[in-house]
Structure 1
Amino acid sequence: MINSSCFGQKLEIFFSFSRKKLSCFNQSFSCQKLEIFFSISRKKLSCFNESFSCRIRSFFRFFLFHVNPFWIQLSYFIIVSIFGHLALMVSKPRTAWFRPKDFDMFFTSVSATTVSSMSTIEMEVFSNTQLIIMTILMFVGGEVFTSFLGLQFTRSKFSKNCPSSDQNSVNLGHNFPDHQIELDVEKEKPDINNIIENGSLNYSSIKVLGYVVLGYLFVVHLIGSSLVSLYVNLVPSAMKVLNDKGLETLTFSVFTTVSTFTNCGFIPTNENMIVFKKNSGLLLLLIPQILMGNTLYPPCLLAMIWVLKKTTKREEFRYILMNYRDMGYGYLLSGHHALLLAMTVFGFILIQFILFCSMEWNSQVMDGLNLYQKVVGSLFQTVNSRHTGESVVDLSRISSAILVLFVVMMYLPPHTTFIPPNVHVHEEFPENGKQSQNRKKTFMECLIFSQLSYLAIFIILICITERQKMEEDPLNFNVLNVTIEVISAYGNVGFTTGYSCKRQLKPDSLCVDTWYGFVGRWSTKGKFILIIVMFFGRLKKFSMKGGQAWNLS
């Protein structure tokens, strides 16, 4: 019995040991199968990701190299405007009793995105959330930010190590308009072989230039917002305006700085800057931001790069200054061209300042201002006529001669430069160093009109859509006011003569004076035409050489 019991125990131990061995074997085998399965899955997933990324890159490169830059930028502004419109519609306005029309909200979104500041709604209707949304729209639609995006597209065309000649010869089309003139004073046209040999330095220089532009963008906004906020907090009269209108100091400071730097012209108050016309310190803070964000941006950028070159001694900054035409960034100019541009800008300001003071010094728009406030206010008004559109006076009350002068200033491109005839100049070479006139123009290019022709067409169309109001209310709806509104939208300025119930020949007891622009009184068709004008003006660089096929002799 004892032997039988011992034998049974041995069998149990044997089977128990066997089961453990078998279990370990099964676990080991299962683990191996799982490892093999996960390994194969990882490889397949990696291959899928690589294939998907390759397809995305291929699509991106096809989009970048083969799609006309005009359609890229037009799509960008339309998409941003649509998203801005949806955001403005979702957020609630400040006034519960009044909700703007859907089309007027879209008009406002387009106006902010194209930095035009044409208004069909009073600014104090918008809530704090809507003001923040408009701030974002103005920022992403500003010229400096969109040019920064264009610079990133240019960088993506270059391989980090060895760019090909095709990559170097492709023009993004986000540079200055083709009509811009460059001075041939620093270097001759670069040899494409030298560019290929220095491809790595070219790539790193474009990358560094992107950081410089981005730093310029944020530093100006940070300093500008801080200074405006500091001024408002220190000056009781300015703070009283914000308190009376229910505006937050931070929102006002950031909104005003972004609008001023991007040359949009929106201000969170109904009266624009008229309510601050006695705050000369605030006006003086905004004037440099106006110039640094548009007309004087190329000289300021060049000065910033020169300072960085002297302080950091980095080779990229020297390369940028010596090869500014190869950077794919049209705001880089030669030193002489930047100097002539700055002189032209200040020359236009001086001419306007002298004429404005001579015509309006003792007029109603200057009532209540002392000598210092008149000088600063006149300077601020004339600086704004070149694309910003902020105003300290009621434009409907100034003389017609000054209005015509402002129309001319609004029409001129922001980087118009006076170049003396004794300075040797040459045109840009947008197509691999060959002059554009040597290329045979397509039929569609020959049909393109000049800028003035398009503006005349737009004015005629608006006169047609608003013909009934022009007959019934000729003092408000006259050709000069319509022309000012169209040229202001084309130049992305925002100047407007507004609408006055007092000028009605047949007084309407229900008419109420409002602070939005003259376009706010137009029909929906007229507003839609002005939306087209704003897009057209924002992308005017693509049609600056139109009309050359038309011989008027």
Structure 2
Amino acid sequence: MRRLRSLLPPLNFITIHYVYFIIVPLISSVVFWGSSNPRSSISYVDSLFLVISAMTEAGLNTVNLSQMTTWQQVLLWLLIIIGSSIWVSIWTVLVRKHAFETRFQEIVRKERKRSLERRNASLTLLPITHRLRSLGRSRTVQDSSEGAPWGQRPAINLPVISRPSDRRLVSAIVPPHQESGVRTSGSFTRPHSVATAEDVAPAPGTADAEEGNTRASTTTEHVIFADDLRSGARSTSIAPSGTTAQRHLSNTDTAVNPRSYLKGHKVGRNGQFHGLTSEEREELGGTEYRALKLLSIVVPLYFFLWQFLGCISLGAWIANNLPGPALENAISPWWNGIFNGVSAFNNSGMSVLDANMIPYGSSYFVLIVMGAMILAGNTAYPVFLRLILWSSLKMLKWVTYDDDLVEWKETIGYILKYPRRVYTNLFPSRQTYWLVFMLFVLNGTDWVAFEVLNLGNSTLEQTPLGSRIIDGLFQALAVRSGGFYVVSIPTLFIGLQVLYVIMMYISVYPVVITMRHSNVYEERSLGIYGEDPIYSDALTRSVSRVQSSSKSRSLSRMVRVAFAEWYGVGAAPNQLESRISFISHQIRGQLSHDLWWLVLAVLLIMIIETKHFLEDPVTYSVFNVVFEVVSAYGCVGISIGSPNAAYSFSGGLYPGSKLVLCAVMIRGRHRGLPVALDRAVRLPSDDMHMVEEEDHLRRSMSVRRPSFDDTGI
């Protein structure tokens, strides 16, 4: 078992992603195949191909969807949703959020155990008369530091998860006579501590003592991400009353003050923090937890509202203005709009109509709405999401006072400034502008090429000028990832078909290069840090000074573990150059990972399809096979099509070729993922901050090390 385990890839985000996209289609294919009517009218290979195509958003179909049962169409519709990259990212955020909460609960459990031990020790030291006199009073026993001034009490450096729920808990945390010193920069704060039900019990002799004891036994624990109040606690300035402090605390789950660890000298490239104290690390963990908590609400709302509103608008418009094409295929116009809306947002390209989007070539509303959904669900998703967060922050600042909703403002500001620490598909402003620029360049190129390279095309010249312009725009948006076609691809001139092959292949490049360029652990994901004898010994000594001996690990072991990980697409684990161009490196990495898959797939399919090629060399030409393979690998869905049939070119291939394309679709679905070392997909652990410290030391020492060119090596 140990030898077998050593041969398997490590359990990380990418391997789990592969398992998900293999197991779910295998199970769904059996259900889909058994749902055929009449039974087995759709072969199992076609069933497997269709569910994988839907799950990977490839959109190719070997059978006309209009011939399927309604349940089979619904099953494909559901697979399109749960195969979406946004859907996967939602669960990534939720899992990381839960991991933070689990770690905090463990911290609380250990702290309660230590507090109980200290309390028992204090009880044994108290005189017997004092203990008898305290019977029946509060269950909370003050320790030796309770009588000390607020700012001089020992701090327990723990993060905060939630807030007290009522005024009594707030007043227990902050005594009324001390409230003037616990409010800094418009937010309610307190020293690092754990506020449990026992900690906030009413004082002995008060009217609420009995109720407080009851509450202490039933109320769940509250852990607060608190900030250091060494300066604020000593303040003697007049501050708002307890009601005001309570109002600020109740605005959000946590309260924060300006972050000292956000200063420039502690922030490295891509939002890597270094040189932080343990308290600052805890505050950073609390901030990232709040960011995940906010994203766990914003991203699902974005995912749901775009599809809900888009599907309803498309269904209503088609049902009331152009129901004919759907009725001719025995499809409800409403279902046609709902299916196409989900397929557009998730960039699948599947359609319940045999003619895809050709019947709606003159329907401006349908093309514009679906074009916007194609952008919102894939290529422009990081842009739209950042725009929403940026607008929300501006709106909050505009409609509220500076000291209102401070926690919300700081959390959104943190996400906008350091997005790649918390989310895979959200980038800093500079990279986002670059992504917008590439969207205009690539989509504009496709749009202009559609109009120019088809001059003289008799098929398109019959289309009115206005419709032709809109059709070109929609096709430009769909060719990179959307998968729909508003004109028959074989009718286009060959030059445009070749351009579409290129665009389908590079469709993922802008987003994935931006994702990896903004990765916090950029050098590690590229494999730049290796066993370099020039500075590995010095680095080991430097790391040992900043890490405690009980938790530190040797550099050699760290390197072995790092290089043993499965980095994913585009990584180069053995690359030792530290001053290379990042984009050129990524392009070379993508080509090395992509081309052999494409070449091997084309070779296998041409071998399998030899008989078809000999019978009809035009239909089963090498170019048509290359077009289909690239479309499957890019998870686009545009196809040359089959003669005398409405399904994709894949429908006319032998079962062996279809299985090859299934593997190509699954592999292509994973080429746009972040590497396994991406900060936004890793679960919180004790050594994450050590990784950042080591990277900073490596980077600092690599700047001072001699160049190979200077030494003549």
For the superposition of Structure 1 and Structure 2, which TM-score range results when normalised by the shorter chain? 0.7 to 0.9
Residues 256-313 of structure 1, C-alpha deviations (whole Å, 9 max, x = no match): 1110000000011011111221222211111100001100000101011112223345
Aligned to 1:360, the other structure's residue is in SS state coil
Q: Is the 8 A contact 1:260 1:290 kept in 2?
A: yes
Which amino acid letter does the alignment assign opposite residue 82 of structure 2? V
Match of 1:334 in 2: 428
Between the aligned partners of 2:655 and 2:36, the Cα distance in structure 1 is 23
Answer yes or no: is 1:190 the counterpart of 2:273: yes
Kindly indicate whether residue 220 of structure 2 is the aligned counterpart of residue 278 of structure 1: no
Aligned to 2:412: 317
Question: Which runs of structure 2 are paired with 1:75-474 in the superposition (5 Å)?
Answer: 75-93=19-37, 96=38, 99-159=41-101, 162=104, 188-191=271-274, 193=277, 194-235=280-321, 238-312=322-396, 313=405, 314=408, 315-327=410-422, 329-414=423-508, 416=510, 428-430=519-521, 436-439=527-530, 441=563, 449-474=592-617
Change (3 A) 1:478 1:164: farther
Alignment partners' CA distance in 2, 1:187 and 1:88: 45
Distance 1:81 1:395 in 2: 29
Q: Distance in 2 between matches of 1:88 and 1:209?
A: 34
**Cα pair distance change 1:225/1:295, threshold 3 Å:** same
CA distance in 1, matches of 2:564, 2:272: 27
1:474-521 Cα distance to aligned partner (Å, 9 max, x none): 101111100000000000001111122xxxxxxxxxxxx111111111
Structure 2 equivalent of residue 540 of structure 1:
671
Instruction: Please give the TM-score of this superposition, normalised by the length of structure 2.
Output: 0.58
Asked whether the equivalents of residues 344 and 417 of structure 1 are also in contact (C-alpha less than 8 Å), the reply is no
Is 443-452 or 471-480 further displaced after alignment?
443-452
TM-score where L is the length of structure 1: 0.74
Structure 1 residue aligned with 2:168 = none
1:142/1:187 Cα in 2 relative to 1: closer, same or farther (>3 Å)? closer
Cα distance, 1:71 vs structure 2: 1.9
- Distance (Å, rounded) in 2 between the aligned partners of 1:380 and 1:256: 14
Aligned counterpart, 1:491: 634
Tell me the distance in 2 between the aligned counterparts of 1:270 and 1:344: 33
Q: Separation in 2 of the partners of 1:227 and 1:376?
A: 19
Q: Secondary structure at the match of 1:541?
A: coil
What amino acid is aligned across from residue 122 of structure 1 in structure 2?
Answer: N
1:4-48 CA deviation, whole Å, 9 max, x = no partner?
Answer: xxxxxxxxxxxxxxxxxxxxxxxxxxxxxxxxxxxxxxxxxxxxx
Quick one: distance in 2 between partners of 1:434 and 1:483? 31
1:87 and 1:154 mapped to 2: Cα distance?
32
Q: 1:157-212 deviations in whole A, cap 9, x for unaligned?
A: 323674999xx9xxxxxxxxxxxxxxx99975323653432322221210111211
Structure 2 Cα separation of the partners of residues 187 and 540 of structure 1: 22
In structure 2, relative to structure 1, the CA distance for the partners of 1:387 and 1:113 (3 Å cut) is: same
Partner of 2:657: 526
Deviation of the 1:430 alpha carbon: 3.0
Change (3 A) 1:404 1:434: closer
Q: 1:92 to 1:462 in 2, by over 3 A?
A: closer
Question: Over residues 359-411 of structure 1, what are the superposed CA-to-partner deviations in whole Å (9 max), with x where a residue is unaligned?
Answer: 22442442542111111111111111111110011111211111111111111
What is the CA deviation profile of residues 341-363 of structure 1, one whole-angstrom value per residue up to 9, with x for unaligned ones?
01211111111111110122442
Distance 1:348 1:244 in 2: 36
Report the alpha carbon displacement of residue 153 of structure 1 after superposing the two structures with TM. Answer: 2.4
C-alpha distance in 2, partners of 1:274/1:305?
37
Of 273-282 and 262-271, deviating more is 273-282
Deviation at 1:435, TM superposition (A): 6.1
Q: Which structure shows the bigger proportion of residues in helix conformation?
A: 1
Aligned-partner Cα distance in 1 for 2:270–2:61: 46
Root-mean-square deviation (CA, aligned residues, Å) is 3.1
Q: 1:526 to 1:66 in 2, by over 3 A?
A: closer
3-state SS of 2:482 partner: coil
Asked if 1 retains the 8 angstrom alpha-carbon contact of 2:457 and 2:493, the reply is no
Question: Does the aligned pair in 1 maintain the 2:631–2:637 contact within 8 Å?
Answer: yes
- Cα distance in structure 2, aligned partners of 1:97 and 1:154: 44
Q: Residues 38-77 of structure 1: matches in 2 within 5 Å?
A: 67-77=11-21
Q: Which runs of 5+ in 1 are unaligned?
A: 1-64, 169-183, 501-512, 546-553
Does the 8 A contact of 2:312 with 2:337 survive in 1? yes
AA in 1 matched with 2:273: P
Asked if the contact 1:294–1:414 (Cα under 8 Å) also holds between the matched residues in 2, the reply is no
CA distance in 1, matches of 2:328, 2:10: 54
Structure 1, 442-451 or 130-139: larger mean CA deviation? 442-451
| Cα contact 1:344–1:418 (8 A) shared by 2 | no
Contact 1:283 1:380 in 2 (8 A): yes
C-alpha distance after superposition, 1:72-112 (max 9, x if no partner)? 1111111221232233223344xx59921121011101100
Equivalent residue letter for 2:417: M
Distance 1:523-1:380 versus aligned 2 partners, 3 A rule: same
Give 1:531 deviation, angstroms.
Answer: 0.3
Q: CA deviation at 1:234?
A: 3.0
C-alpha displacement at 1:323, in angstroms?
2.3
Q: Which residue of 1 aligns with 2:690?
A: none
Q: Is the 8 A contact 1:364 1:397 kept in 2?
A: no
1:426 and 1:487 map into 2 onto residues whose CA distance is 25
* In 1: Cα distance, 2:518 partner to 2:294 partner: 27
Q: Deviations over 1:94-150 (max 9, x none)?
A: xx5992112101110110001101111012111222211111000000111111112
Q: Is the 8 A contact 1:109 1:134 kept in 2?
A: yes
Cα gap change, 1:365 to 1:157, in 2 (>3 Å): farther
